[in-house]
Amino acid sequence: MHTAHVNVRWGDLDADGHVNNATILAYVEEARMQWAARLALQRCSPSLRSVVAGQACTYHASIGYPARLAVTLRCGHIGNSSVGLVFEVRDAEDGGPSTGAGGATEGSTEGSTEGSADGFTAGHHYATAAITWVWVDRLDRRPRPMPPTLRAACTAAFTQTESGTSNDEL
Where are the extended beta strands (E) located within 39-167?
Answer: 48-59, 68-78, 82-91, 125-137
C-alpha to C-alpha distances, 61 to 24, 73, 86, 125, 126, nearest whole angstrom: 12, 19, 18, 7, 5
By three-state DSSP, how is residue 21 classified?
helix
By three-state DSSP, how is residue 161 classified?
helix
Contact of 82 with 134, CB cutoff 8 Å: yes
Of 3.30.450.40, 3.10.129.10, 3.30.1600.10, 3.40.50.300, the CATH number of 2-105+112-163 is 3.10.129.10
pLDDT tens digits for range 3-41: 999 999 999 999 999 999 999 999 999 999 998 888 776
This prediction's pTM: 0.73
pLDDT at 158: 57
Packing angle, helices 21-39 and 148-163, rounded to 10: 110
pLDDT band at 169; cut points 50, 70, 90: very low
With 60 as the cut, is the pLDDT of residue 100 above it? no
C-alpha to C-alpha distances, 104 to 5, 95, 168, nearest whole angstrom: 9, 13, 19
Q: Give the DSSP letter of residue 15.
A: T
